[in-house]
Amino acid sequence: MGYADATLAGLANDGGLYFPATWPQVSADQMRAWRNLSYNDLATEVLSLFSGEDVPKAVLSKLTTAAYENFGHSAIAPLKQLDHGLYVMELFHGPTLAFKDFALQYLGQLYNHLLTERNQTCTIVGATSGDTGSAAIEAIRGLDAVSLYMLHPKGKVSEVQRRQMTTVLDQNIHNLAVDGTFDDCQNLVKAMFNDAAFRRKHQLSAVNSINWSRIAAQVVYYFRAALELGAPDRPINFSVPTGNFGNVLAGYVAKQMGLPINKLIIGSNSNDILTRFFESGTMQQLGVTSTLSPSMDIQISSNFERYLFELTGRDTDRVRQLMDTFATNGEFSIESAELETAKKLFAAHRMDDKETSEEIRRVYQSCGEIMDPHSVIGVAAAKKYAEPGVPTVVLGTAHPAKFSQAVADSCGKNVALPKRVQHIMTGDEHSMDTANDLAAVQSIING
Ligand SMILES: *Cc1c(COP(=O)(O)O)cnc(C)c1O
C-alpha cells in the first residue's frame, strides 16, 4: 500500500499500523544543500521522500504552504537558546498554540487533496477532552471534501479549550456537547465506527495520532533544528516531552534517514509508562493520574508499537504476540539485549507536578524564559543527560498561555494569549447539545 492509501485508511484492516517498507536515505551533501531552505520548502523535500509518485512535489509544495501559512511566526519553528548547548524549538506558533498543528494542518490539506482527486468526500468524527479537538477543527475548517463532527463532554473542558472549538463557524465544522464524560464521547465514536451501514453512508474517517502521515510531517522539524545547529557535521540530542511516543518516534525516523542524532531523551510526567519501560524493559499499564501537563496524561503509548517493530528486527509475529500479551495482561517485557539496543539511543526522565513547577520557576529565573508544564519537562530531561560537544534541542510543545494557571502558580507570571487568537474569548459560539445516546448523535449527523 502506498502513501496516499495509507493516509486515507489510517489504521490497517487487521488493526496494525502502517510504516514505510524501507527508510529513504538523505546524504550529507543533500543535507548541506537543505540548510538554506524555508520551512515549507524543507517540508516539501522531506515529505516527497515518503509520498513518492502519490503526491508530486509541485502539489506537496502547495499543501505545505497552505498548512503553515496561518502560523504566527515567520520561521514556523523558531529555535531559541536557553543556555550553553541548550535550545528550545518552539512548536507552538500554529493556530491552536500546540505542536499538534504541525501534523494536523498538513494532514487536513493532504486529505482534502487526495479526496478531491478521487472525487470522494468523507466525514470525520472524533472525541476530545480538549486539545486534540481544536487542532483537528482548525485543520479541517473550510475544506471542501471533508466535514467534521467533534464530540466533547459538556461543561468538562476549560473555557479556552471550548472557545477554541466553538468559535469556529465554518459550515463543515460541527461541535457536539455531549451530556456525559470524555469516555462517553469516545464510546459514541467507537459505536458509530462499529455501525457498518452508518460508517459506509457517511464515509466515516478518523485523523487520530496513529496516522502515518502525522508522524511523517513531524520528521521535518527534526531536520530543521539539526541543520540549523550544524548537521550533518555535528551530532545533536533531542529532548521530547511525550506520552503517546508520537513526537519522539518522528525523531527515530529522522535518524534512520541519516540525521546524526546522538540521543533521543524522553520526558514523562507522573504517567511514566515510557520512562519505566526504558529503565526496566517492561511496558506496564497503570491507572492514569491528572497532572499539570494533561496532554501527556495517557495510559498506553499507542505509537510505541511502531518502534517495537523496529527493535525486534521487523518481526511481525513477535510484535503481534507482545501486543496481544499487553492487551490481555496489561504488560509485556522485551529481552535484555533488546533493552540494551534501545538504551543506546533513548534515555528517559520522569517529573512529578512539584518538580515540574519548580523547574518552570528555575528556567524563568535563570534566563527569563516562561515555559509551559509540558515543554519544561523536556528541559529538565535535557539537563540530566547533557553531554559536552553535543547540543540538545528541547521540543517546545505548547505555548505557556495555554496553561497559564500552572505557569502563574509556578513563577508568578501571567501570560496573555497571543493577539491573533484573542478573538476566541469574545466570538460567537456554535455548538449543539446532545444526550449521551447513539441514536441522538447519529440523527444529528444524518441531518
Ligand atoms: C499531544 C501533546 C504532547 C504529547 O505528544 P505525543 O504524541 O504523545 O508525543 C505533549 N505536549 C503537548 C502540549 C501536547 O499537546
Contacts of 337 (CB under 8 A, 6+ apart): none
Whether residue 254 lies inside any domain: the answer is yes
Domain ranges, residue 253: 79-97+212-411
Chain-centroid distance of CA 229 in Å reads 23
246 lines ligand 1 (CB under 6 A): yes
Q: Which of 151, 106, 105 is nearest to 124 (CA)?
A: 151
pTM of the predicted protein model: 0.95
Decide: helix, strand or coil at residue 278: helix
Q: Give the residue, by CA position, lying nearest to ligand 1 atom 4.
A: 242
Query: Is 273 within a domain?
Result: yes
Q: Which of 17, 92, 100, 395 to mutate to test the pocket of ligand 1 (most atoms within 8 A of CB)?
A: 100
Q: Give the per-residue pLDDT at 366.
A: 96
For the Cβ of 134 lying below 6 angstroms from any atom of ligand 1, the answer is: no
d(CA 8, CA 206): 9
Looking at residue 237, what is its pLDDT?
Answer: 98
Task: Find, among 168, 47, 7, the residue nearest to 96 by Cα.
Answer: 168
Residue 17 falls inside a structural domain:
no
pLDDT tens-digit series, residues 215-230: 999 999 999 999 999 9
Q: At what angle do helices 100-117 and 57-68 cross, to 10 degrees?
A: 130
Which of 57, 62, 80, 100 is catalytic? The answer is 100
pLDDT at 209 over 80: no
Other C-beta atoms lying within 10 Å of the C-beta of residue 387:
12
Position 200 in a domain: no
- In this predicted structure, what is the pLDDT of residue 198? 95
Is 80 exceeded by the pLDDT of residue 13?
no
pLDDT of residue 181: 86
Q: Does some domain include residue 226?
A: yes
The verdict on whether 100 is a catalytic residue reads yes
The Cα 432–Cα 408 span in angstroms is 33
Q: What is the pLDDT of residues 341-393, one digit of tens each?
A: 999 999 999 999 999 999 999 999 999 999 999 999 999 999 999 999 999 99
Confidence tier at 193 by pLDDT (50, 70, 90): confident
Residue 287 is predicted with a pLDDT of 86
DSSP letter (8 states) at residue 232: T
Q: What is the percent of the chain where pLDDT is above 70?
A: 100
Instruction: Tell me the per-residue pLDDT of 107-128, one tens digit each, with 9 for 90 and over.
Output: 999 999 999 999 999 999 999 8
Which of the two residues, 187 and 71, has the higher pLDDT score? Answer: 71
| 342 domain-assigned | yes
Model confidence at 130, pLDDT cuts 50, 70, 90, reads confident
Least confident of 32-41, 214-223, 290-299, 312-321: 290-299
For the chain, give the mean pLDDT: 95
pLDDT for res 139: 95
Is 239 among the domain residues? yes
pLDDT at 6 over 80: yes
For 400, the grid coordinates are 505557556
Residue 407 lies in a domain: yes
Residue 214 Cβ inside 6 Å of ligand 1? The answer reads no
Nearest CA to ligand 1 atom 7: 246
- The count of structural domains within the chain is 1
pLDDT at 78: 98
243 in contact with ligand 1, CB cutoff 6 A: yes
Task: Provide the CATH number for the domain around residue 226.
Answer: 3.40.50.1100
Q: What is the mean pLDDT of residues 406-426?
A: 94
Choose among 318, 320, 360: nearest CA to 335: 318
pLDDT value at residue 206: 82
